[in-house]
Structure 1
Amino acid sequence: MKAFKYFVYATSLSISGLLTASCKEDVLYIPPVANNTVDEFYKDENQVNQGVMAIYNGCLSLPENSYWFLAEFRSDNVAADVATVQRDYSDVSNFNATSQTPQLQATWTDLYEIVYRANVLQERIQPFTFARVEQFKGEARFLRALAYFDLVRYWGAVPIVDKPVGIEESKNVPRSPVADVYKFIVDDLTFAAENLPSSYVITVGTATDATNKGRATKWAAKALLGKVYLTMYGYPLRQTSALPLAKKELMEVYAAAGANTFSVAPNFADLFKAANDNKYAVFELQYISGGTGLGNPIPWQQGQVFPTFWSPFPAFAADFTLPPALFGANWPKIDKRKAATLDSAIRNPTTGAIVAGRPQLTKFLEKGITAIQNRTDYPNNFPIIRFEDVVLMYAEVLNEEAGSPPAMALTLINQIRKRSGISEYTAASPEAATKEAFRAAVLKERRYEFIAEGQRWHDLVRTGNAISVMTAFKRSTTGTTATGGANFRQLDEHDLLFPIPILELRLNPGFWEQNPGYN
């Protein structure tokens, strides 16, 4: 049973209700019964809470439309074929996306829907004085920051909107410089960290109330803020002043770990099981099965072949493969994360015979599940900020501020390696010889830890490795056509951003300039 069912409450607010509309008083108007509009809603604390739930609800598409189809396919974790017909994921993966690629518009719209819902909440909550007002504002601003963090990393300069705006007004909102967008994100997360509780688990006498566990906490805001600062330290801003700020936030989150907050899971595979939702991660998106459209689609999206003894529904089977770097000696079997992340062959559980040999990602699939109602109805949550992310970012920060890897940085990365069943680094290890060697070791560790979670592309970009790594990767894995294999073009800085969707540019032709290098 999920502790926090924001998706259930959110259904009482229709999408159309979130798009504000006005009505002249001299026109007969009867409030709709089935679908509340903004003007008829936000009458009491319960309805304001439902408004907060609507923002969380808007985030449910992020793992699919943002982290998978944009971030993961853009990285060297997935090798998509050069399609002979239009396939958005292929265009994204092979750096052929244009302003007319539908997936870019879908993700842009999803992210700004979160922003809009957060802005509506911020406006409508103003008259209230109940105890949870600042908490609700903090949740709204945390989720708005989460959306803007993706927007600025995918598109660079984007319009900052901090209040609900109408169609005509929205046409004249300029794209703000990248530095201003990051300042906006930092302001939101700072407010959230100051106004969100450390935990939603309340003990009354001998009873424990965990009804609201799963909502964004102070620690979620601080962890995301630490990641934002670390990104600001890297490409494109390269603000050295952001590094000590990242250290402060990550150090505080690391110190807050414990049995009642978040921790490194003793068994890697346990992280992704529905029974352990909200147990180890700092913040997760909440899903539930039952055929109501609120299940997790990621297991289906990332799979290739699901035999009936794995799942009653087939996988998506997109035209992509997993690269050689994930197999053989590159990623040894002794690393427990490997078997929990992917399958190189499907074996009959009774006979042991191989029934399919196509490698696929199965990190989020609980094999043998039978309760789901359709192919996108999986119950397990999706982690947005895992504690392991905090641990490795903290190790990275300590290394960056020192002349050589300090002992604490080794302790941190070894927390992850020990849990994974692989050898720990020592001061004599080649990976600890220099700052540069340890930096590369952390980047590699993050790859294996977060495959299929939408982290790799952003890691490559902020560390300045995306152009070199992805050019070499595409030349080694992308077919043999004129646009692939050894003939794949040299990537450049314009490839680090996506083009602004064409429909957004057409809202006010000539007002925004397209990102360089795109039509």
Structure 2
Amino acid sequence: MKKYFLGLLVMSMLTFWGCSKSFLDETPKGSLVPQNFYKTSNDLTIACSGIAYQMGACFSLVTPTYFGADDITAKRTGNKIVFSDYDVFVDNNTKASNARMSAYFWNPLYATIKQANALIANYKNAKEATIAQQNNAGGYAYFIRATCYFYLTRTFGNIPMPLLVSTDSLQNSTVESIYTQIVSDLKNAETMLPNHWTGNQQQNGIDILPTAGSAKAMLAEVYLTMAGWPLKQTDKYALAAQKAKEVIDNKASWGYDLLPNYGDLWQIGNKFNKEAIFACYYNNQAPNTGFYNGTEMGPPSLAPAEEGGWDDLFGEITFFKNFPEGPRKAATYQYQYFPNNNPALATDWEHDVQKHPYFLKYRDDVSYNWTTHKSNNWWGSATSYLLRYSNVLLTYAEAEAMSAGPDASAYAAVNLIRARAAGHLNDLQAGLSQTAFRDSVVAERGWEYAAEFGSRWYDLLRTETVAKVNSTRDAGEVPLTNQPDDANHAYYLSPIPITQ
């Protein structure tokens, strides 16, 4: 088996980016520094590999802020309190001291930005590379920087926005200026990234680095968010629809499409697939690989303790009950539980220890035993999807409806998703108002991306419905400590970590 691209030259990149000085106080005649490193196409490949490896650190773990949504919850005991604090909306002073938000979200995202800034500053210096190779590497760095800032500003609001390698003494930038930079970076990426990569940057015919199509799709997602809270720039709906339509109309250029079966997305054998527009890929089987070439998202992270899992998160009851039955729900949630990994003791979620449904997503791995539900490795290789072709369809449907009205093309886009979900889902009701159509698409996004890296949380923020969905919280959940407010946006944003 080939080593995946993320595993290439990781130790070189850790030395290059991770060390501030030599252990020995002598002249560094062979050091890798910008003046002597950015020369060849191989240097650019190494730099991209380092960024990809660091980016993987940002999406290989559960992030507490996502628990404010209604799709996931956590028990309020032990080390799960760091998740539960966000689930029950504790005070901001407590949140600011949340070590997991600092160590596993803020820090790795800014570390990735720093590496992207270095490549942006130096990619043109690789004179031994072709112009196309230079642009591809630069476009990748712009795309990654934009994506990191997109996650950071949606989570924290006003934040520092370093655009150079140095991050010292920076004041916070406004949300509006951050989005202006995100759009600029993605427009650069759109023109600089290739339609397809070559070599190890492709696996099984799938581009594992973002392409020009990825930049267009991410722009559509960004514009959709800008149209909602906090910016409420409603003119961006039309731009979101336009960008999404470009991807839909030209999907063959990048090989994008829906997988026929939703459950296939979560099979380890399909970790490279045509639905992934941008994802973080992991391979814990590669020899001599770094820590973040594996992911802690599965198998045990989302598994119940009685099966040897970690209980990091499980499903909220109201959301689960409202989730339409069918193949999509069956692929999203676990229906049978084997206490002590004994199939003879099989039970259902209402009789498990936490009395909550657990997720199947991320569970499949070479180390997972489906016969006993036993995880034989805490470290998995499941793909972390950040943008799928289904995103493009649903973004187009919502943005088109909000800019031009829910026309036939908007219905066609959302109905493709509903058809795949199958079960008792039919085409979306005809003749819906603009707002009713939008609400239906947002609900569809919730089911499609349940437990996927804050997708539901960020949708609730931009549509100003955090308090609304939490008002239907089931009595079986841990009671809320504080009440979010959709009018004054209380408890919408996370405080910047106190360590920063």
Partner of 2:45: 49
Task: Judge which range, 390-399 or 69-78, deviates more.
Answer: 69-78
Name the aligned partner's letter for residue 317 of structure 2.
P
Name the aligned partner's letter for residue 136 of structure 1.
A
Partner of 2:237: 243
**Aligned-partner Cα distance in 2 for 1:255–1:2:** 33
Unaligned runs of 5+ in 2: none
The 5 A counterparts of 1:89-238 are 89-96=83-90, 97-106=94-103, 107-129=105-127, 130-131=129-130, 132-165=133-166, 170-171=168-169, 173-200=170-197, 213-238=207-232
* Deviations, residues 379-403 of structure 1 (Å, cap 9, x unaligned): 2321111000111111101111234
The 5 A counterparts of 1:490-501 are 490-491=484-485, 492-501=488-497
* Deviations, residues 364-383 of structure 1 (Å, cap 9, x unaligned): 11177459996343223211
| 8 Å Cα contact 1:4/1:215 also seen in 2 | no
**Aligned-partner Cα distance in 1 for 2:426–2:410:** 10
Deviation at 1:4, TM superposition (A): 4.3
Name the aligned partner's letter for residue 414 of structure 1.
N
Unaligned runs of 5+ in 1: 203-207, 308-313, 505-519
| 8 Å Cα contact 1:20/1:38 also seen in 2 | no
**Aligned-partner Cα distance in 2 for 1:137–1:220:** 15
Distance change >3 Å, CA 41–CA 339, structure 1 → 2: same
| 8 Å Cα contact 1:20/1:37 also seen in 2 | no
| 8 Å Cα contact 1:10/1:51 also seen in 2 | no
Partner of 1:354: 346
**Aligned-partner Cα distance in 1 for 2:304–2:317:** 17
Larger RCO: 1 or 2 (CA < 8 Å, sep 6+):
2
Of 330, 339, 345, the residue aligned with 1:339 is: 330
Name the aligned partner's letter for residue 489 of structure 2.
E
Name the aligned partner's letter for residue 284 of structure 1.
A
| 8 Å Cα contact 1:395/1:408 also seen in 2 | yes
**Aligned-partner Cα distance in 2 for 1:200–1:43:** 20
TM-score by length of 1: 0.82
**Aligned-partner Cα distance in 2 for 1:408–1:462:** 23
How many residue pairs get aligned? The number is: 471
Deviation at 1:306, TM superposition (A): 7.3
Partner of 1:516: none
For the aligned residue pairs, the C-alpha RMSD in angstroms reads 3.2
Deviation at 1:125, TM superposition (A): 2.4
**Aligned-partner Cα distance in 1 for 2:181–2:254:** 31
The 5 A counterparts of 1:366-515 are 366=364, 369=367, 375-403=377-405, 405-423=406-424, 425=426, 429=429, 432-454=431-453, 455-470=455-470, 472-474=471-473, 476-479=475-478, 484=481, 488-491=482-485, 492-504=488-500
Deviation at 1:85, TM superposition (A): 7.4
| 8 Å Cα contact 2:367/2:377 also seen in 1 | no
Name the aligned partner's letter for residue 302 of structure 2.
Q
Task: Spell out structure 1 runs of 4+ moving beyond 6 A.
Answer: 208-212, 348-352, 371-374
Task: Judge which range, 157-166 or 371-380, deviates more.
Answer: 371-380
Distance change >3 Å, CA 496–CA 337, structure 1 → 2: same
Deviation at 1:75, TM superposition (A): 1.0
| 8 Å Cα contact 1:233/1:243 also seen in 2 | yes
Identity %: 25
**Aligned-partner Cα distance in 2 for 1:332–1:242:** 31
| 8 Å Cα contact 1:287/1:296 also seen in 2 | yes
* Deviations, residues 430-470 of structure 1 (Å, cap 9, x unaligned): x7421222112111111110011120000011112123223
**Aligned-partner Cα distance in 1 for 2:44–2:141:** 11
| 8 Å Cα contact 1:343/1:361 also seen in 2 | yes
TM-score by length of 2: 0.85
| 8 Å Cα contact 2:195/2:213 also seen in 1 | yes
The answer on 1:302 being equivalent to 2:298 is no
